[in-house]
Chains A and B, each alone.
Chain A
Amino acid sequence: MSAFGTQGQPLSGINVADFSWFGAGPICAENLATFGATVVRVESEAHLDGLRGVAPFPPGKTGYNVSGYFNNYNAGKLDLTLNLGTARGKQLAEKLIAWADIFLTNFTPRIIERWGLLYDELVKLRPDIIAVYQPMQGYDGPHRDFMGFGAVLSPITGYNELCGFPNRPPMGLGTNYPDYVINPGHTLVAILAALRHRKKTGRGQRIELAQIESSVAPLAPALMDCTVNGRVETRAGNRLPHAAPHGAFRCKDNEWNGQPEDRWCAIAVFDDAQWRALVEAMGSPAWADDARFASLPGRKQHEDEIEAKITEWTREHAAEEVMALLQASGVPAGVVANARDMLEDEHLKARRYYVYLDHPEAGRTAYDGPPFRLSKTPGVLRSPAPLLGQHNELVCKEILGMTDDEIAEALIEQALY
């Protein structure tokens, strides 16, 4: 297995059967690969990962292998296509699970049952397996079979109701928010806990991360305000009860591709010292020298007025200037960055956060780097996202121990599909 195994990484020697798709599962499995695990991503042309068909694509390129959406979540993995609708495909899946330390899926309970991949069945193949399920709603309960993905999960879990300005509909965060950090991140924590337990006791276990539960957990303060105080919180824009001013302030427009581009800087003032520093950075304008604004309660009371006045100042400066000026004065401030800012950011470049990998079809493209850095065992994106079925032969031979004849049979039976 030296062809693809790692040495000296936290998860060297750990094998992962990644039967997941879309965001929450694949991102978690990518992190396992980044820190040394051997991850086999199982896919099928019978039910392609929807992200393979979603933009962005490199200019002039199409097909299943070049989606930037898919590729960013699948670096460092081997890819095996298995058709679980065939008897041989099912048999090969079982062999892969017997090889795996960790099994991960976010397919619905109905499909997992149909495929015979429930925990009770997996332990027969691999007694100490860590089997991880990420259903939307859970494997029991009245909503077990409700459909969903990130776009619907955000409203169901409260993010749409709570995020944004109160005069707007509950539109959410413009993304399938819980899919990217909340759910894959929580899953990773749970898996690593289970690995420690297995190391100590030799026992595997079943992990269930119901995406509704994982997504609501971070909203605990709003829930407790309801269960304890009976208050039903709703959208409050960019303000916080214990800070003022606090929000995104419009700066001087930029020009991009011949079009004006609105630019913004986030500013957060929690205490009087930060307020005084902000005033000084603005050149101590006369309006700010007002007893009403000297303390937090006064600033909260007159927050509309303060925001308007600060905007008069920020409109005169580039967002980067506002940030640099305020940071130099000790006020938390940051450009509301777009993707261009992120990829061109000097700081992120100095830290080499984004990683550029050469993909056989997509070319050289950027990937999110490891989400945390370990000083002695830094994570590495060892290879770009795999092509669909790229490693069928490698996995069949080196992991599943198949002969050329067996592989040919599996191909004829459309099991490797």
Chain B
Amino acid sequence: MADAALSDIRVLDLAGEVGVYATKLLADLGADVIRIEPPDGDPARNVGPFYHDEPSPARSLYFFNLNTSKRGITLDITKPEGRAIFERLAATADVVVETFHPGFLDGMGLGYDGLAKIKPDMILTSVTGFGQDGPHAQYRWSDIVGVAMSGMMTLAGDKADPPNMPYGQQGYIGAGIQAAAGTMMALVHRDNTGEGQHVDVSMQEALSINQETAMQTFDMTKAIRTRTGARGLLPIDIPGIGVYDCSDGQVFAYLGTPGGAPWTAMLAWMTSQGLAEDLNEPPYADTIGQLNMRFLTGLIQLAADPPKLQEMLKTLAHIYEVFARFCKSMSKWTLYEEGQRQRLMFGIVSTPEDLVRNPQLTYRNWLQDVRHDELDATLRYAGPPYRLSETPWAIRRRAPLPGEHNVEVYVDELGLSPQELDALRARGVV
């Protein structure tokens, strides 16, 4: 495609789960990504969810999503014949992305030095749990091991529970994003100088910045940030902050933030709905008039006057309860959309269904329909993470079936004869 940013780039994709989001990003920007699966198929094909809940390597929605816009071949690179074919393919490629344990490809002569002999300006991107060197380089990883050892998991959850793992293999996603960026950075350098190089991505390092302020907090003050549950860093329930139940789900509120409408606007809305109860009376109305971020700081000063503090906490608790009742009587979409129109900071706690029907995403035609002829179905996919005006993101084809492009790649492009391909198949190389 002429309009693709990476239409001149061929990527050999040997990546397991920790790197495969990277090659999806490259493929959806137009690179010719050839996914190389072992002859018995990519293990990720066995990860759900599955089309119509029928577990099958040809029905994994998880695999489908991560392999859009790619072509697919099968090849056992550990067999001598397979390795020879890989070398021929590598000579035509710009980038190899791999996720083997450090040293594995080197042991086969296919590490960076080996590949650079085949293709001097090759870019090799290695994505692993802990990077190519250091005392933990050979440690085994999985998604949860990466998020645990990146410092982000300790921040998530309730103190009464184990630290929470983020949903959706976020360790692999984060490593994949950094790997795509690192690969692109190396491509930019190659465009400038003709020089290839080795890109080393450690999932642990890729995710470290997700610690938010925890790392700097320890560095500067030796205090350890840990998980603090639903209340976050607040010592008490503050009216209008946090998660609230609605008639049909939940919203997250953050009222009184700079730039938004004040709590009095919230009270006016509750009053207009006949749901303000006694909040327009003293002492509630006065307190609501002052309820903003600065108010919280004032609360700390009140600690010097325990009776006054107790009174204030009682007042706040009542406002909280009335506000919670108001939320409970409304739908989550009403609170979110009506609240935002009044510049009250509400965020809907979206379920996947809410995302699918989100009016903003719908207006922007974000979800993408992709045809799967062999399923006789059109599946609805997540849409673009970014929109580039000149070189748009696009799902260029559905994920490959196992070995779908073997003939196209081996015979039409590499010049093997159909008989040679058959023989490789018979020997389990392809």
Q: Are A193 and B130 in contact (CB under 8 A)?
A: no
Give the residues in chain B near A250, CB-CB below 8 Å: 162
Within 141-168 of A, Cβ neighbours of B (below 8 Å) are at 141-144, 146-148, 151-165, 168
In residues 192-244 of chain B, which contact A (Cβ within 8 Å)?
Answer: 192, 195, 197-202, 204-221, 223-230, 232, 243
B182 at the interface (CB under 8 A from A): yes
**With A248-B163, A366-B215 in contact, do A181 and B157 touch (Cβ < 8 Å)?**
no
Give per-residue flags for A264-289: 1 if the beta carbon is below 8 A from chain B beta carbons, else 0. Answer: 11101010000000000000000000
Q: What's the nearest-Cβ distance from chain A to residue B131, in Å?
A: 6
Q: A159-B167, A174-B157 are in contact. Are A221 and B140 (CB under 8 A)?
A: no
Say whether A98 faces chain B, with CB atoms less than 8 Å apart.
no
- Residue B158 CB within 8 A of the other chain: yes
C-alpha spacing A237/B252, complex, angstroms: 20
Least CB distance from A391 to B in Å reads 23
CB proximity of B151 to chain A, nearest CB, Å: 4
Q: Which residues on B sit within 8 Å (CB–CB) of A152?
A: 252, 254, 345-347
Residue ID in chain A nearest B384 by CB atoms: A213
Report if A292 contacts B (CB, 8 A): no
Cβ of A411 under 8 Å from chain B: no
Q: Are A219 and B382 in contact (CB under 8 A)?
A: yes
The verdict on A223 contacting chain B, using a C-beta distance below 8 Å, is: yes
Q: Which residues of B contact A395 (CB under 8 A)?
A: none
Q: Contact between B259 and A147 (Cβ–Cβ < 8 Å)?
A: yes
In the complex where A171-B158, A347-B135, A374-B186 touch, is A206 in contact with B389 (Cβ < 8 A)?
Answer: yes
Query: Which residues of A are found within 8 Å of B349, using beta-carbon distances?
Result: 155, 160-161, 170
B383's nearest neighbour on chain A, judged by CB, is A213
Which residues of A are found within 8 Å of B229, using beta-carbon distances?
A: 168, 171
CA–CA, A119 and B389, complex, Å: 11
Asked if B385 and A327 make an inter-chain contact with CB atoms under 8 angstroms apart, the answer reads no
Q: A152-B252, A169-B250 are in contact. Are A217 and B383 (CB under 8 A)?
A: yes
- Decide: A216 near B181, CB < 8 A? Known: A346-B135, A348-B205: no
What is the CA–CA distance of A362 and B111 in the complex, to the nearest angstrom? 42
Q: Are B252 and A155 in contact (CB under 8 A)?
A: yes
Q: How far is the CA of A186 from the CA of B199 in the complex (A)?
A: 18
User: Are the C-beta atoms of A158 and B351 separated by less than 8 Å?
Assistant: yes
Given contacts A155-B252, A194-B388, A235-B167, contact A148 B217 (CB under 8 A): no
Q: Which of B360-410 contact A (CB under 8 A)?
A: 360-361, 363-364, 366-367, 379-391
Distance between Cα atoms of A224 and B142 in the complex (Å)? 23
A196/B184 in contact, CB under 8 A: yes
Query: A195 at the A/B interface (Cβ < 8 Å)?
Result: yes
Could you say which residues of chain B place their CB within 8 Å of the CB of A27?
A: 209
In the complex, are the beta carbons of B162 and A249 less than 8 A apart?
A: yes
Q: Does B178 contact A (CB under 8 A)?
A: yes
A58 cross-chain contacts in B, Cβ below 8 A: 220-221
Query: Quick check: B380 and A333 within 8 Å, CB to CB?
Result: no
Which of A69, A235, A248, A354 has the largest number of chain B CB atoms within 10 A?
Answer: A248
A93-B140 Cα distance, complex, nearest whole Å: 50
Number of interface residues of B (CB under 8 A): 150
**Chain A contacts for B230, CB-based, 8 A:** 168-169, 171
Q: Are A163 and B167 in contact (CB under 8 A)?
A: yes
- Tell which of A146, A213, A217, A247 touches B165, judged by Cβ atoms closer than 8 Å: A247
Contact flag A375-B198 (CB < 8 Å), given A175-B212, A247-B162, A366-B216: yes
Q: With A140-B363, A241-B48 known to touch, is A337 a contact of B150 (CB < 8 Å)?
A: yes
The answer to the question of A399 belonging to the interface, with a C-beta cut-off of 8 Å to chain B, is: no
State whether B212 touches A180 (Cβ < 8 A).
yes
Residue of A nearest to B228 (CB): A174
Q: Does A242 contact B (CB under 8 A)?
A: yes
Q: Which of B155, B174, B215, B361 contacts A368 (CB 8 A)?
A: B215
- Among A49-57, A83-91, A298-306, A400-408, the one that faces the other chain is A49-57
Query: Are B163 and A264 interface neighbours, CB within 8 A?
Result: yes
Question: Assuming A143-B340, A156-B350, A371-B181, is B151 touching A163 (CB within 8 A)?
Answer: no
In the complex, A51 Cα to B89 Cα: how many Å?
49
Using A55-B217, A189-B386, A192-B184 as known contacts, say yes or no to A175 and B353 having CB atoms under 8 A apart. no
Are B168 and A222 interface neighbours, CB within 8 A?
Answer: yes
A-B contact pairs, 29 of them (CB 8 A): A57-B220, A142-B363, A147-B343, A152-B346, A156-B350, A164-B164, A169-B230, A173-B152, A177-B210, A181-B206, A186-B177, A196-B6, A196-B187, A205-B388, A222-B168, A234-B351, A237-B165, A243-B142, A256-B224, A338-B226, A339-B219, A343-B215, A348-B134, A350-B134, A351-B134, A366-B215, A369-B205, A371-B205, A375-B200
Starting from the known contacts A175-B210, A192-B185, A374-B182, 19 additional A-B residue pairs (CB-CB under 8 Å) come to: A56-B217, A59-B221, A72-B216, A141-B359, A151-B347, A157-B355, A163-B167, A175-B156, A182-B174, A189-B25, A196-B184, A207-B388, A216-B355, A228-B379, A270-B142, A339-B224, A371-B206, A375-B112, A376-B195
